[in-house]
Amino acid sequence: MNNYDLEKVKYIFPRLFVIAIQNSVNLNAFTHSLANSEFIKKIEANQYDDYFNKSILEIYDAISCDYIKEDDSYGVYNDAYWSGLTYFNLYLKTKKPFSYLFLKLPFEKMLNMYPVYHEMDFSSLYEVFVQLEKEKTILRLLCEQHHSSLSRMNKATSISINTLSKYNASDKALYKASFQNIIKIANFFHAPVSLFVEKL
């Protein structure tokens, strides 16, 4: 994407979060659907096409399957808007997939943080995000989010407990996993494969 295309996408992105909040959707379900959407896949592939010329409601409906009739997000700059914009800026800064950003810093947590950080420099929130990255690994967070365990994963994927324990202890180890194992883990959690890629 060139800078003009990027700005157009950056305009759409936070408004999707506003619509989600306005329609009282489940926040985890929203970010999960968003992370797996065509919208995100195109952004992460740096692919700009006619998809982004659709109305924001069309894009939102394709992501959420809620089929909202009216877009009341225009001109709304609430905490949901600033949270969405911050996720986009984190993506540009870190080059990490959105699924990773949502996992390490869930939308609900971002909303609770934003009254403190929305008037501060982005670097302040970025420092907080870097600390959150270190607290728990990808696999540990996925297990917590899905109320799962390594033993259940072992039975479902046939990946050995020793191997899963290594992935659970270190994101670096998970990034070095075989493609076959990554596919098995992604399918187990219904997560995008991009989550297990260190850099896009």
The backbone torsions φ and ψ at residue 152, rounded to the nearest 5 degrees and listed phi first, read -65, -40
The CA distance from 27 to 18, in Å, is 11
Which 3 state secondary structure label does DSSP give 152? helix
User: 200: pLDDT confidence band, cut at 50, 70 and 90?
Assistant: low
pLDDT tens-digit readout, 130-149: 999 999 999 999 999 999 99
- Could you give the C-alpha distances from 162 to 95, 144, 159, in angstroms and in order? 30, 19, 8
pLDDT tens-digit readout, 148-178: 999 999 999 999 999 999 999 999 999 999 9
Q: Which structure tokens are listed for 83?
A: 């949270």
- Number of CB atoms found within 10 A of residue 27's CB: 20
Q: Among the CATH numbers 3.40.50, 3.30.300, 1.10.260, 3.20.20, which is that of 138-196?
A: 1.10.260
- Please, what sign has the CA dihedral across residues 133, 135, 137, 139? negative
The backbone torsions φ and ψ at residue 67, rounded to the nearest 5 degrees and listed phi first, read 55, 60
The CA distance from 38 to 131, in Å, is 30
Q: Which structure tokens are listed for 61?
A: 């409906």
- Per the CB < 8 A criterion, the answer to whether 184 and 173 are in contact is no
User: 68: pLDDT confidence band, cut at 50, 70 and 90?
Assistant: confident
Residue 115: its pLDDT value, please? Answer: 67
The alpha carbons of the chain give a radius of gyration, in whole angstroms, of 17
Q: Average model confidence (pLDDT) for the chain? A: 90
Lookup result for tokens 């800064």: 93
Burial category of 71 from C-beta neighbours within 10 Å (exposed 0-12, middle 13-18, buried 19 and up): middle
The whole-model pTM stands at 0.88
The CA distance from 194 to 98, in Å, is 9
Length of the chain: 200
List the chain domain ranges.
3-135, 138-196
- Select from 150, 160, 17 the least CA-distant residue to 84: 17
- 126 contacts: CB under 8 Å, gap ≥ 6: 90, 93
Residue 114 has pLDDT above 80, yes or no: no
